[in-house]
Amino acid sequence: MTVIKKCLFPAAGYGTRFLPATKAMPKEMLPIVTKPLIQYGVEEAMEAGITDMAIVTGRGKRALEDHFDISYELEHQIAGSDKESLLSGTREVMEQCNFSYTRQVEMKGLGHAILVGGRLIGPEPFAVILADDYCVTESGDGVLTQMVKLYAQYQCSIVAIEEVPKDETYKYGVIEGTEEAEGIFRISNMVEKPAPEDAPSNLAIIGRYILTPDIFQIIEETPPGKNGEMQITDALLAQAKQGRVIGYKFRGRRFDCGSVAGFIDATNYTYQKEQEQAKE
C-alpha cells in the first residue's frame, strides 16, 4: 500500500491582506497565540505520519527556515530557566522531521507553487497544506490524518471540502459531484472562484489536499486561469474529468487565517482552549 511520506507547504504568497504585518514577515509566521501558523501545519502533517516537510518560500520568507533551525544564542540564553520549555515543542518537530525548501521566484499562483515544489517531492503521492487554513478537531483524527486514511482506500487525489455560504463562493474553488458515501464526493466538475449564480454547489475546497504525482505534468500543460494565475483547481479538473478526484467533507473546523476576521476567530478559539487546558 502506498503511504504518504511528504507534505508540501506552498508559502510564497504575498499575504497582502495582512499588510503591513507581512511586509517583511511571511504570513505563515503569524502566531495563533504563541505558535506560528506554519508550525500548526507541520504538526498536523506529523500526526498523519508524515516526516518530510517541503516548503515553497519566496523573497522575504527566510524566517520560515530560521524557525525550524537551532537558534544557539537564544537557546543558550534561556537554558535552565523556566522559559526553556516554551521551545520544547518546536525542538521536537525539528528532531522528528526533515525540512527542505525551494523558492518560487515569480508568484504565478498556487498551481505554479505546487509545480515548483515538485522538485522536492518526486514521483509519489503527497499531501499539501496551506498553513493559513488552520484546522482543528475537538477529538479524534486531525484533518490530514483523516485524508491519509481515505487515500489508502481510494488511491486518487483528494481535496478537503466544506459548506460555505452561497455568497462566499467567489473566494474558493467550488465542486460539483455525487456523494458516494457519507461526506465523500466523486467530483465531476470544479470552478475557481465562481460568482454565486455560477457556483455548481456551496461545497468549497479548503487548504488540504492529497495529490497524485501526475498532477505536475497536468499543471505544466494547463493554461493560466482566473487572474492569469496557474490555478490548482484547473489542473485538478483534468483528473476529475477522469473520475480521479474525491471531495472529502472533513470532520473538524477550519479558520481562514488568510483573512483578518478568521485569524482573530482562531486566536480567540485557541486562547480559550489553552486557558481551559491549563485549568484541567
Least distance CB 249 / ligand UTP (angstroms): 21
**Closer to ligand UTP by Cβ: residue 228 or 243:** 228
Q: What are phi and psi of 113, to 5 degrees?
A: -60, -40
d(CA 13, CA 270) in angstroms, rounded, equals 25
Least distance CB 76 / ligand UTP (angstroms): 33
Least distance CB 104 / ligand UTP (angstroms): 5
Least distance CB 25 / ligand UTP (angstroms): 13
Least distance CB 138 / ligand UTP (angstroms): 25
Cβ-based neighbour number of residue 53 at 10 Å: 24
**Closer to ligand UTP by Cβ: residue 184 or 266:** 266
- Helix and strand numbers (H, E) in the chain are 9, 13
**Geometric angle at alpha carbon 42, from 103 and 112, rounded to 5°:** 30
- Residue pair 228/174 in contact (Cβ under 8 Å)? The answer is no
**Closer to ligand UTP by Cβ: residue 46 or 64:** 64
Furthest C-alpha separation in the chain: 61
What is the identity of the amino acid at 198? D
**Using CB atoms, what's the residue nearest to ligand UTP?**
13
Cell 458515501 belongs to residue: 181
Counting beta carbons within 10 angstroms of the beta carbon of residue 74, is it exposed (0 to 12), middle (13 to 18) or buried (19 or more)? exposed
Q: Interface with ligand UTP by CB under 6 A: which residues?
A: 10-17, 27, 56, 104, 107-110, 112-113, 130, 132, 258
Grid cell digits, residue 68: 525550524
Least distance CB 113 / ligand UTP (angstroms): 3
**Closer to ligand UTP by Cβ: residue 60 or 183:** 60
Q: What are phi and psi of 175, to 5 degrees?
A: -105, 160
d(CA 172, CA 142) in angstroms, rounded, equals 22
**Closer to ligand UTP by Cβ: residue 14 or 154:** 14
**Closer to ligand UTP by Cβ: residue 41 or 247:** 41
